[in-house]
Amino acid sequence: MQRGQQQEMVVEVSHLLQQFGKRTVLQDVSFTIGRGEILGLLGPSGSGKTTLVKTIAAVGDYAGGEVRVLGRKMPDYETIKRIGYMAQADALYHDLTGYDNLLFFAELFGVRGQRRKRRIEELLALVQLSDSAKRAVHTYSGGMKRRLSLAIALLHEPEILILDEPTVGIDPMLRQDFWREFMRLKEQGVSILITTHVMDEAEHCDRLGLIRAGKLIALGTPEQLKAETGAATIEGAFLRYGGAQS
């Protein structure tokens, strides 16, 4: 982006409130994600990260506030088709092969013909499952299922990627390959929202949101968050923000 050019906002979350029964899971959460930006979400288990990404991906409605994606209020069916979503729990057909899972979701996403064949081959190579593509998914390890889930999220070349802990169970070398792909997509203008517990991954994000007890307690670049807390690392910054809230 050139200096002075206004960044297009592809995700706008305003005063989001999410409740399940009488329990408030997200409270007054507001942030934006720009075109070609990677926003990382950090927070302890149970802090509301997964609920937040599900809400943006339109997996269910919300109790208050507003979520807009690509200028449309969510949930919106046409907009959902422009999102690639990788859930924390793998949504795969375990009796099908890895290849047949990709064929099924390609049909669902409207990816057909030569484009479908090309995309499946490219993604199997990216996630290093080419040699295992004809095996039933129930024979896959947990890490292999995560890799297949990422391939499915990328299949239709979405404008926005929403990834809930995509590198859990992935070996460090393949994790680096994933992040190279995320950076390539970013350069092409794809916006990425990613949750992670891996602190060195957080350093790759353009901005980070720190979530605790359903509230967004800090938002900024990794360098800003470290400078504001006087911490040398993102982990240190997160611990200090958390302490400031207790």
Is 127's pLDDT higher than 50?
Answer: yes
Kindly report which listed range (57-66, 93-102, 113-122) carries the lowest average pLDDT score. 57-66
- For residue 192, what pLDDT is reported? 98
- For residue 188, what pLDDT is reported? 96
First to last CA, the chain: 39
- For residue 246, what pLDDT is reported? 39
Is 245's pLDDT higher than 70?
Answer: no
How crowded is the C-beta side of 179, counted as CA atoms within 13 Å? 18
Q: Which domains does the chain have, with CATH numbers?
A: 1-82+158-246 (3.40.50.300), 90-156 (no CATH)
Q: How confident is the model at residue 1 (pLDDT cuts 50, 70, 90)?
A: very low
Helix %, strand %, coil % of the chain (to 5): 40, 25, 35
Is 47's pLDDT higher than 70?
Answer: yes
Q: Which residues are 97's β-sheet partners?
A: 136
Is 49's pLDDT higher than 70?
Answer: yes
- For residue 122, what pLDDT is reported? 96
- For residue 243, what pLDDT is reported? 66
Strand 9-20: give its sheet, edge to edge: 23-34, 9-20, 64-69, 72-73
Q: How far apart are CA 25 and CA 145, in angstroms?
A: 28
Answer for the pair 158, 126: CB distance below 8 angstroms, yes or no: no
Whole-prediction pTM value?
0.91
- Give the list of residues 6+ apart from residue 197 with CB closer than 8 angstroms, or none: 42, 165, 168
What are the tens digits of pLDDT across the range 143-191? 999 999 999 999 999 999 999 999 988 888 899 999 999 999 999 999 9
Q: Is 230 exposed, middle or buried (0-12, 13-18, 19+ CB in 10 A)?
A: exposed
What are the tens digits of pLDDT across the range 211-221? 999 999 999 99
Q: How far apart are CA 144 and CA 146, in angstroms?
A: 5
- Mean pLDDT value across the chain: 92
102: number of Cβ within 10 Å: 24
